[in-house]
Amino acid sequence: MSDKTDEQLVENQIVEQEFNALLDDYLSSNHRRKVELITRAFNFANQAHKGAKRRSGEPYIMHPLAVARVVSKEMGLGSTSICSALLHDVVEDTEYTVEDIKSLFGEKIATIVDGLTKISGGVFGEQASAQAENFRKLLLTMSEDIRVILIKIADRLHNMRTLDSMLPAKQLKIAGETLYIYAPMAHRLGLFSIKSELEDLSFKYEHPDEYKQICDKLNATAYLRNTLYENFSAPLLPKLNELGIPYEMKERVKSVYSIWNKMQVKNIPFEEIYDIFAVRIIFDYKPGMDEKKVCWDIYSVVTDLYRIRPDRIRDWVSRPKANGYQALHVTVMGPDGQWIEVQIRSSRMDDIAEKGFAAHWKYKEGNIEEDTELDKWLETIQEILENPSPNALDFLDTIKMNLFSAEIFVFTPKGDLKTLPQEATIVDFAYSLHTNIGNQCIGAKVNHRLVPLSYKLQSGDQVEVLTSRSQKPKEEWLSFVTTARARTKIELALKKQRKDYIKQGEKLLTEAMEKEGLNDVPGFFDQLIAHFGFAHADEFYCLLGRGDFTLPESLKRFSKDKSDFSIVRYVKRALNAVTNSKSEAKEPEALPEKSEEIILDKKKPYILKCEGNKRNYVIAKCCNPIPGDEVLGFVDNNEVTVHKRSCPIAMRLKSSFGERIITTKWAAHSTTSFPATIEIKGIDRVGVLNEISQVISQKSVNIRMLHIDTLDGIFTGQVEILVHDVDEIATLRNGISKIKSVKSVKRIDR
């Protein structure tokens, strides 16, 4: 009994210390002092969660306290948000209701807690339809009060910080949906430091080995970066001091996930990433100061001393990013012969960059509420919510189009500025102006030059959209639009068009049947559409109404014709024959027997075995993993499909079907071969191909295909080989890289 009492006392002390730390965070901010309200909220939550424990064994109240500290210290929010964070699990996990919260803490806090309760259990449920519905709820509550999503992100951040206590399969699921939704959401809301931490933590659990390798390399090269910074800053500091403005200069190191992501996108090793290091100059902000002028004064000092790279100047001071980010970026040649990015911003801009839109409120004067880019974004979200895609994954992807995209700035003929995502086309621009302009656009003049609808816009383009009243949105537009607004409007218009075509087709058939007196013939219509190979009546009516299908001159013969002839069936049969012949040419792959039941133990990894020709798994064609790759399993129709953890398809599966994700482990595959492709680049010379072939044959690796192109003295080769695991590829790469004139050897996905 005494041991339990002592344990309780220790727990109470820990909880008390954490609460006092929260109050210290709050009192060091410039918010109004509502300590009594926060204390009441804490005492209420502490009592409500009394006796409850987290999976890690600590008292449950430590989680709401940690979330409240993130909300206060890292987001800069005030007492309403802190109280809501403390109370965010009370309604879901205890007997208390939203009405109880409302009577004790008021309307605002109750509304936020209610919003957080509606989206409880994460953005995603267990089924696709539930995922889309939960995500829709999240966005709706976010548009009512942005603090709902800010607290939800804080909640996810603390869950990620304490993910160690979860089972491996659960870790993959949570890390996957964090990277898929929460990190982009934090980015869009300007929470840069939180976004980076969410990405790094997700990466740590999804790719632990690669995470450790990059961390080790960053630590190993820290001395070189410090030397580079010292050499760069030494002559610059006296010049900056002459400006007479208080400032701070520091180095910034790229996040682990950003480094890895760049390595993947550009297919380059760690050693070839040159923007790991940057210099940040932050000057003190005073109300009423001309921040833009000070930024350019500092820019002048830097560029007077160092030579600039003209294509790497980014002015986000004059025109902030959509997430509120402001800074002036310039890349210069440092004294050690390396390009160095310099980021110039005020302490106000730095606050907004780290804490996001919440920091805007700190600097607002009076009661003026400005129309921000965030408000425009929320309006777009509302439009999508009005006409959501019936497919849950498509719906999530449509939302993501608006969450995480680099921006370009485009001008109308009158000089108005429009912000669009990179890769945006004429159609995207047209819909950003007005729905009718988008629906009727036929082309455009960009910088007075005629371009097609699929033309990708560049920053600074001046665009005049050309329209026609006879134009209607086309299905093919969906293949090149990039904005969620354009996609939603096109899909809505196509849906309406389809309804009109079905109506018209129905009318045409009815008239034709009446003309020949076939209205009363039982089963005639079913026989007719079956004859032409249509599965659904709507499909038949739509093609007929659109003019893509014409009725024969006489329908009467179909009431007697019992033959199974069908043009559509004939075409389908021909296509199937082609598909089958192609698949037969591929290497056969044995799949698990359908009758075998896969029994999974979530606590143990699923062993991927291959005995003879029979495998207990299926290789995903999207990423073609081989033994040694970090992989996960997806259970579907009593089969385990194996994906690389970094595969984009796997990311969607983790986010959307988390309960069907399992951890996997390769068994020894000494007799089974897997296809892989390596890319070799180097300086062309006589005999280099022969040397490459010799190295491959010496390593006892079978070549399936070898293709080499040369251009201007440089060769690029792709070799498809059969290997047992990734170690064989590493050995082969090392051997080929030793050949004189070979500059790079890397594995690529085909």
Residue with token string 């990039």:
482
- Name the residue type at position 112: I
Amino acid at 731: T
H or E stretch including 655? helix 648-656
Query: What one-character DSSP code corresponds to residue 58?
Result: S
Local structure of residue 179 (DSSP, 8 states): I
From CA 465, how far away is CA 452, in angstroms rounded? 10
Beta pairing partners, 446: 449, 463
Local structure of residue 268 (DSSP, 8 states): -
Report the alpha-carbon distance of residue 601 to residue 170 in Å, rounded: 13
Vertex 63, ends 62 and 68: CA angle to 5°?
A: 95
- Long-range CB pairs of 372-378 (<8 Å, 24+ gap) are 372/324, 373/320, 373/321, 373/322, 373/323, 373/324, 373/419, 374/146, 374/189, 374/322, 374/323, 374/324, 377/188, 377/322, 377/402, 378/142, 378/143, 378/146
How many whole angstroms separate alpha carbon 580 and alpha carbon 491?
Answer: 33
Nearest CA to 42 out of 26, 64, 11, 75 is that of 64
Catalytic residues: 92-93
Backbone angles phi, psi at 614, to 5 degrees: -105, 120
- Other beta carbons within 10 angstroms of residue 549's beta carbon come to 16
**244: left (phi > 0), else alpha (psi -120 to 50), else beta?**
left
Tell me the CB-side half-sphere exposure of residue 276, using CA atoms within 13 A: 23
What's the half-sphere exposure (Cβ side, CA atoms, 13 Å) at 733? Answer: 17
Residue 375: half-sphere exposure toward Cβ, Cα within 13 Å: 4
Q: Do 18 and 62 contact (CB within 8 A), yes or no?
A: yes
Tokens of 447: 């910088």
Residue 186: CB partners within 8 Å, gap ≥ 6? 153, 194, 195, 198, 356
Reduce the DSSP state of residue 39 to 3 states and report it: helix
Q: In what order do the strands lie in the sheet with 618-619?
A: 606-608, 661-666, 631-636, 639-644, 618-619
